[in-house]
């Protein structure tokens, strides 16, 4: 074999061997770099997508019927915290939500009615109405939330539909309405005027919540 050809062949062989030795290390370095980048991106996206909020304004209206007339009880400024998932300035999910309403903060404007309602709700022993979300899913433009509703010491799984809107000031307004029967929570519909006026079993809860970043 001519000397020049032998030298060229040797150089090519050494280069090939060196490349084979470096390739695994080079590949692993790139793989590690990519993994770190993806992980950092994931954390960054998670931090941006999920935000903790606290209710800036909170109101609930309980609506019912009676043999005399329809009635309402209202409550305001109760505690509520939530963590929303946002995408393109729209609420796509609720990671967590818990609210607590003091029973005796609910007012109808009629003292006798309030007193009977508190007794029916067993307010002396169960001072709060609470709701905690367990899971949510987006259906059309509404959030369908499944959670635990506790009234008069009885807890039931309750599914509710909510509409949530992100305002220009980045507050989030959520509105929810849910109808059910008082007796589902072992609450006896209260009566008034020595039993001459009785309330219906069906009630509706309407929530209007405005959230601000914590």
The CATH number given to whatever domain includes residue 191 is: 2.40.128.110
Q: Which residues of 19-57 are buried (b: 16+ CB within 10 A; e: fewer)?
A: eeeeeeeeeeeeeeeeeeeeeeeeeeeeeeeebebebee
Pick the range with the lowest mean pLDDT from 43-47, 61-65, 85-89, 145-149.
43-47
Q: What is the pLDDT of residue 100?
A: 96
What is the sign, positive or negative, of the torsion defined by CA atoms of 157, 82, 117, 115? positive
Does residue 63 lie in a domain region? yes
Residue 189 near residue 198 (C-beta atoms within 8 A):
yes
Position of tokens 């219906």? 200
Q: What is the pLDDT of residue 99?
A: 95
Of 201 and 30, which is predicted with more confidence? 201
> Average pLDDT for residues 87-106, to the nearest whole number?
94
User: What percent of the chain lies above the pLDDT cut of 70?
Assistant: 75
Does residue 111 lie in a domain region? yes
State how far the Cα of 97 lies from the Cα of 203, in Å rounded to an integer. 23
Does residue 182 lie in a domain region? yes
Entry pTM: 0.73
Tokens of 28: 């692993």
Does residue 31 lie in a domain region? no
- Which candidate, 181, 182, 148, 143, places its Cα nearest to that of 163? 143
| Number of structural domains in the chain | 1
Q: What is the pLDDT of residue 77?
A: 77
Side-chain-facing half-sphere of 12: CA atoms under 13 Å? 6
Does residue 174 lie in a domain region? yes
- Quick count: other Cβ atoms within 10 Å of Cβ 158? 17
Does residue 20 lie in a domain region? no
Does residue 17 lie in a domain region? no
Range of the domain at 126: 49-213
Q: What is the pLDDT of residue 192?
A: 73
State how far the Cα of 211 lies from the Cα of 214, in Å rounded to an integer. 9
* For residue 149, pLDDT beyond 90: yes
Does residue 34 lie in a domain region? no
């Amino acid at each position: 074999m001519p000397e020049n050809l032998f030298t060229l062949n040797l150089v090519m062989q050494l280069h090939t061997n060196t490349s084979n030795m470096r390739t695994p290390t080079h590949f692993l370095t790139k793989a590690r770099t990519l993994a770190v980048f993806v992980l950092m991106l994931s954390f960054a996206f998670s931090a941006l997508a999920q935000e903790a909020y606290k209710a800036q304004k909170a109101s609930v209206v309980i609506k019912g019927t009676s043999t005399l007339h329809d009635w309402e009880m209202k409550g305001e400024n109760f505690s509520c915290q939530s963590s929303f998932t946002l995408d393109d300035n729209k609420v796509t999910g609720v990671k967590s939500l818990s609210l607590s309403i003091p029973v005796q903060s609910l007012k109808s404007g009629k003292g006798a009615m309030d007193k009977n309602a508190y007794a029916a709700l067993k307010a002396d022993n169960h001072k709060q109405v609470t709701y905690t979300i367990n899971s949510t899913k987006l259906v059309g433009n509404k959030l369908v939330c499944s959670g635990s509703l506790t009234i008069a010491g009885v807890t039931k799984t309750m599914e509710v539909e909510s509409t949530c809107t992100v305002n220009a000031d980045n507050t989030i307004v959520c509105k929810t309405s849910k109808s059910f029967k008082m007796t589902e929570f072992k609450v006896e519909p209260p009566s008034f005027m020595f039993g001459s006026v009785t309330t219906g079993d069906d009630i509706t809860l309407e929530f209007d919540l405005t959230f601000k970043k914590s």
